[in-house]
Amino acid sequence: MKYIFCFYLCFISLFVAGAETSFSLPYSGKVKTSFSPSFTLFNDPQKEANDINYLLNQADSLMFRDYKRSLNYARKASLLAEKNGDSEKKALAYYYIIRNHFFYRELKEAYSYIEKGMKEEAVKTNPLYKTLFTEATATYYGLISLPNKQLEEEFKVLKLLSNGKDINSKILKANTYMTIGDAYIDMEDYQSAHLYADKSIAYIEKIPEKEYLNVKRMYWRKAYIYFYKAWIYLQQEKPKEAYPFIKKAYDQALIEDLAYTSPFLEAYGDYYFQTGSYHKAIEYYQQTMDNKSLMGHSAEYVQSKIASAYRMLGDHDKEKVYLKKSTDQFKKSASEGRMRIQEGLENIQKEQAEKIIETENGNKITLTLIIIIAIVILVWALIRNRNLRKRKRAIIKEKENQLQHKNTIITEREYAIEKLQLQVNESFSELIQMAKENSPQFFARFQEVYPEVYEKMLAMNPRIKVPELTFSAFLYLGFSTKQIATYTSVTVHAVEIRKTRFRKKYNIPSDIDCNAWMKNLVK
């Protein structure tokens, strides 16, 4: 459920606390629409601080309503804060930027700001900022399907929040319990997932609704807390138990005026699918697709659910239409994933080029100063002329070496990009290597190379999730239990348990090897 996890974790936020709270922001109060920053030619520290506060408040007011505009305001705030050298406000602006990038699945950009934020003095010394960026790191690990690393960071967050008694600490703690539960959902440990979901609900419901709605929008996460409780029940195919939490989640989303309602609509669709109301399920799935399209997200998994609903209704023509749409969109998403990798390499090359330009400009200034100093010294002390010339040549040589090193780096980056493009068609060996590296793009590439396996598994189980598809891919490629454990960083015992569940789920006879069963599946 990582594609929902991404949007949900955008709700992790900054503490705006009163005098009695343990954490506090350097800005507070509601956004005044009559105020707007005006930039002058003269440096006015107080005015620039007010401008940054305005931009940060604007970024907050647009969260979950207009992600692009919120991101733009946060970027402007970061530029001003960087200009002023204000570490705390840089950290706040970076955090807004990270959350908006997470929503759009721009993970490379988000992680670059996590790295920048972690280097800030405010994050190193202030428990608030340390908590926020630790949570952002946990979110990143969750989005690249590393639940064990995610849990490690989430428990660090709980430790940092252990003494927090204010409303903001309670909200963040409730959210952390829920994201821990989400990690357990991905690990199919539903007992633990329910435990942490219940803790999350208990924390959030202790806060009066009026008090809850008076905090900044960034804290509003109650809708998703209810949603994840419902989602656990839906994974267990317990629609009756899920329904009250689906309704609470959707009603809360309306109260909070959330623009992205796809998770709640999809949950309604799953409920009606599991209760046999397939026409109603299709209606909600269609609404889900409309909202995803509006928010700029693909809907391949929802399309596959619509195909399943039409199959249950006996409308096999529409089933094929939506199954094809789902498969085509999945291929497109995989292609876009590769494009993001290439863009990342190009960005690295661009950054290196910019650094070289900066170095060259610095070299020119340095060289000019050296010449001036040499002339002055020649006037006053000709005897030192030879030594000064040697010094100048040494410095110039050093700078040339630096430039040569930078050019070498650029060449290596260009070679890496060319090599990456050439390896696109080297299917099997590439898949093996990606599996060994536990690459988050592994399944997307596998599905592209072996679409018939994906379609067969989807036909057998329309609600199959990516982790199970990935596991079936490992079996299809012939990996042993030990290899799977090594590549996915889990124990051999954990893999054996998962094989047993897989065998039971698909009625695989005990005398047939799971790997062989997968191979025979598409013959």
Q: Which pLDDT tens digit goes with each residue over 467-482?
A: 888 888 888 998 998 9
Q: Dihedral angle at the C-alpha atoms of 215, 220, 226, 228, nearest 10 degrees?
A: -140
Domain membership of residue 159 (yes or no) is yes
User: Which of the pair, 198 or 406, is modelled with greater confidence?
Assistant: 198
pLDDT digits (tens, 9 = 90+) for 296-343: 888 899 999 999 999 999 999 999 999 998 888 877 776 654 544 444
139 inside domain: yes
Contact yes or no for 117/91 (Cβ under 8 A): yes
The enclosing H or E element of 241 equals helix 239-255
pLDDT greater than 90 at residue 12: no
For 83-111, the three-class secondary structure string (H helix, E strand, C coil) is: HHCCHHHHHHHHHHHHHHHHHCCCHHHHH
Distance in angstroms between the alpha carbons of the first and the last residue of the chain: 30
Q: For residue 147, what are its two tokens?
A: 């639940």
The pLDDT of residue 412 is 61
| Residue 384 DSSP class | G
On average, the pLDDT of the chain sits at 82
Residue 15 has pLDDT above 90, yes or no: no
Asked whether residue 10 carries a pLDDT value surpassing 60, the answer given is no
Residues 134 and 71 placed together within one structural domain of the fold: yes
Q: Report whether 150 contacts 141 (CB < 8 A).
A: yes
Q: Name the burial class of residue 38, with classes exposed (0-12), middle (13-18) and buried (19+) by CB atoms within 10 angstroms of its CB.
A: exposed
pLDDT in tens, 435-472: 888 888 888 888 889 999 888 888 888 888 888 888 88
pLDDT at residue 348, rounded to an integer: 35
Residue 391: pLDDT over 90: no
Domain edge (last residue) among 144, 163, 182: 163
**Buried (b) or exposed (e) across 314-343, using 16+ Cβ within 10 A?**
ebeeebeebbebbbebbbebbeeebeeeee
**Concatenated DSSP letters for 305-344?**
HHHHHHHHHT-HHHHHHHHHHHHHHHHHHHHHHHHHHHHH
Give the span between the Cα atoms of 404 and 166, in whole angstroms: 55
- Tell whether 469 and 364 lie within a shared domain: no
**Interatomic CA distance for residues 478 and 272, integer angstroms:** 38
Q: Which whole number is the average pLDDT over 277-306?
A: 94
Supply the range of the domain harboring residue 458: 428-521
Give the Cα separation of 473 and 385 in Å (integer). 72
Domain count, the chain: 3
Q: 137 or 45: whose pLDDT is higher?
A: 137
Residue 217 resides in a domain: no
Under 8 Å between Cβ of 224 and 245: no
Query: How many angstroms separate the CA atoms of 256 and 258, rounded?
Result: 6
Helix residue ranges, H only, 259-299: 262-274, 278-295
pLDDT above 80 (res 91)? yes
Does residue 27 sit within a domain? yes
Task: Write out pLDDT tens, residues 51-71.
Answer: 999 999 999 999 888 899 999
Q: What is the pLDDT of residue 411?
A: 59
Residues 143 and 34 in one domain: yes
Residue 174 lies in a domain: no
Which residue shows structure tokens 């891919």?
Answer: 473
Give the confidence band of 367 by pLDDT, cuts at 50, 70, 90: confident
Q: Kindly report the number of other CB atoms within 10 A of residue 410's CB atom.
A: 17
DSSP string, 434-455: HHHTT-TTHHHHHHHH-HHHHH
454 and 399 within one domain: no
Residue 16 has φ and ψ, to the nearest 5°, of: -110, 100
Whichever domain contains 62, its CATH number is: 1.25.40.10
pLDDT of 26 strictly over 60: no
User: Do 372 and 472 lie in a common domain?
Assistant: no
Gap between the Cα atoms of 330 and 145, Å rounded: 18
The pLDDT value given to residue 360: 72
Residue 179 belongs to a domain? no
Q: What is the mean pLDDT of residues 36-47?
A: 62
Q: What distance lies between CA 459 and its chain's CA centroid?
A: 29
Residue 11 pLDDT greater than 50, yes or no: no
State which of 407, 425, 443 marks the end of a domain. 425
Same domain, 369 and 445: no
Q: Name the range with the highest mean pLDDT among 173-177, 219-223, 467-471.
A: 173-177
Surface-to-core class of residue 257, CB atoms within 10 Å of its CB (0-12 exposed, 13-18 middle, 19+ buried): exposed
Dihedral (CA of 76, 79, 81, 83) sign: negative
Residues 354 and 449 in one domain: no
Residues 50 and 120 in one domain: yes
> Nearest to residue 138, comparing CAs of 129, 148, 125?
148
Residue 420 pLDDT greater than 60, yes or no:
no
Give the model's pLDDT for residue 346. 46
Question: Quick one: pLDDT at residue 345?
Answer: 39
% of the chain surpassing 70 pLDDT:
82
Calpha distance 197→225 (Å, rounded): 7
Residues 11, 158, single domain; the answer is yes
Domain shared by 409 and 486, yes or no? no
Give the pLDDT confidence score for residue 440 in this predicted structure. 83
What pLDDT does 364 receive?
Answer: 76
DSSP string, 120-147: SHHHHH-HHHHHHHHHHHHHHHHHTT-H
> Any idea what the Cα angle at residue 417 is, between residues 412 and 419, rounded to 5°?
90
Nearest to 137 by CA among 149, 126, 145: 149
Q: Of 101, 133, 163, at which residue does a domain stop?
A: 163
Q: What pLDDT does residue 167 have?
A: 87
Does 394 lie in the same domain as 504?
A: no
**pTM as predicted:** 0.59
Q: Look at residue 159 in the predicted model and tell me its pLDDT.
A: 93
Q: Which two tokens stand for residue 107?
A: 């993970």
Is residue 309 in some structural domain? Answer: no
Q: Is 207 a member of any domain?
A: no
pLDDT at 256 over 90: yes
Quick one: 379 and 442 in the same domain? Answer: no
pLDDT attached to residue 51: 93
How much is the average pLDDT of 117-144? 92
Cα angle, residue 389 at apex, residues 386 and 390 outer, rounded to 5°: 90
Interatomic CA distance for residues 313 and 276, integer angstroms = 10
Q: pLDDT at position 263, please?
A: 96
pLDDT for 1 equals 54
Asked whether residue 72 carries a pLDDT value surpassing 80, the answer given is yes
Once rounded to an integer, what is the mean pLDDT over residues 387-397?
76
Cα–Cα distances (Å) from 393 to 139, 274, 387, in that order, read 51, 78, 10
